[in-house]
Structure 1
Amino acid sequence: MSILNESCSLKDNNLRGKRRINETNQKLSINIFQTNDQQYGQTSTELNAQFFHSQILMDILLRMTKKIDDKNDLIALCKKELNNNKDELNILYEFTETYSSDKALWWYTRETFIYQFLNQALRLQDIDLLFLFRFFIYDIQKQLELNQCQESIFIS
């Protein structure tokens, strides 16, 4: 069991490292949660309301009924956004042909536009874009539920 736990820990560390690199390389964007300097004058109630709003939004998106065209709608938007980037369009074609719900985490952790678009939508609380990603967010949640470590990891 310790090998399995170490494997989970190594995967977590690897994913965190990739995320840090991606976040560093991403374009500057506005964050819905402000830094301490910007929070001056805001009450904890206002900050809690922002957090609560984001949680409700996610809950609603995850409860929505999936439709056949969900993936196609997202792909159409991505084609429009990536119109001159051949490398990313090739990745979009691969996504179109090979995506399945059991591969959501794999697609999310790849260094592609998918990770960048989804994270930007989450940071900005872009409801329209999050709506298009709802099938993908749902698949990520289900995969995380299936793959979560069942036992505590102890380091001695």
Structure 2
Amino acid sequence: MGCSRSVPADSSHSQHHPKTIIPSLSSSPIMYRKSNNIVKRNHRAQPHEIVQNFLILWLDEDIDEVIDEYYNSIQHLQQIVNTIEPFNDTDECVDYLSQLQNEKAFLIVSDTLCETVVPRIHHMTQLYSIYVFSHKQSGYEEWAKDWYKVKGVFTEIIPLSDSIRQCARHCDEDLVVISAVSSLNELESSFVYIQLFKEIILGIDFNEKKEINALVEYAHEKYADNDEHLKMINEFAREYRGNLDGNNKPIWWYTRECFAYHMLNRALGTLQVETLFRIGIFIRDLHRNIEKLHSEQSNDIHGSTTPITVYR
């Protein structure tokens, strides 16, 4: 998998399972706190609403108890993963996980449920990694060693989110290597499709101001509950002009691993036509930026016999 386990110092096993103090919210309706308001979402996230290649499922049977604690944790985790689905029912969580097709899931599970749910789902290809969460050392470190997808037993949200951040990077890299198609015929047709799409995008005479504003509006819709990414989107709206030199050039935005990076990777990997056209102007600018860098570097190394080191 590439992402490593967390190894807490204390491995004493507690016989009593206290309630987890960081809750999720009941599955119907799903609620997120926005400033002083409560924003209700009456459905689970659908594939077209997920803007990354992964999401978090949070399973805890005591999830309705401390809303503020939960909200603070969600805000921290959403700096990494935009879509977070809370569950207090194991069967519902397992059913939702089994229906994922093009996404990978990071599961946060309370210590009171881990021994029950992990054997049921560990084999599922949709499940990328598991994080056991408790408000104090619960002694499941030895048990976790038998399940390679369990990356650690955590008592605080910050080290847990750091572990997820590491796994998210590896997950994106893994999904780039693994093609989104399942046969050679599909691979050939998908390649032709991408080539045609690229030619169309590069041939469009964009109204840059209008298209950038439309992209910003689309990104606002997708990240409506994510304060951290909304700040980046607003920065993009203020600063981005598609310049190929200086600050704020397309490749700089892409390598920030912010909303533009995730939306583009997701759309290309799953061939989401709507998203590809919505971010078409950024794709065009990024293509031109890469072409320019390639031309400059080719001129620099012309005639040189020194091997080139590349990174991805």
Question: What is the deviation of 1:45?
Answer: 4.8
More helix by share: 1
Structure 2: stretches of 5+ with no match in the other structure: 1-165, 244-248
- Which of the pair has more CA radius of gyration? 2
Structure-1 residue corresponding to 2:307: 155
Which residue pairs with 2:272 in the alignment?
A: 126
Shift in CA distance, 25/86, structure 1 to aligned 2, threshold 3 Å = farther
The 5-angstrom pairing of residues 80-99 of structure 1 reads: 80-99=221-240
Greater strand share, structure number: 2
Residue deviations 1:52-110, cap 9 Å, x none?
12211121122112023111111111111111211111111100000121210000110
* TM-score normalised by structure 2 residue count: 0.37
Deviations 1:19-62 (A, max 9, x none): x9764255x9895323xxxx3xxxx4553222112211121122
* Structure 1 residues 93 and 33: CA distance shift in structure 2, 3 A: same
Which runs of structure 2 are paired with 1:4-153 in the superposition (5 Å)?
23-26=169-172, 32-34=180-182, 39=183, 44-67=184-207, 68-102=209-243, 103-148=249-294, 149-150=297-298, 151=301
- Count residues with an aligned counterpart: 128
The one of the two structures with greater contact order (alpha-carbon pairs below 8 A, sep at least 6) is 1
Note closer, same or farther for the CA distance 1:47–1:112 as it changes in structure 2 (3 Å cut).
closer
Q: Which AA in structure 2 matches 1:136?
A: F
Task: With the length of structure 1 as denominator, give the TM-score of the two structures.
Answer: 0.71
Instruction: State the identity as a percent.
Output: 26
Q: What CA distance in whole angstroms lies between the structure 1 residues aligned with 2:267 and 2:185? A: 24
Cα root mean square deviation, aligned: 2.7
Q: CA deviation at 1:155?
A: 3.1
Q: Which runs of no fewer than 5 residues in structure 1 stay unpaired?
A: 1-19
Is the CA contact 1:101–1:136 (under 8 Å) kept in the aligned structure 2? yes
* Aligned amino acid, residue 230 of structure 2: L
1:84 is paired with a residue whose SS is coil
SS of the equivalent of 1:69 reads helix
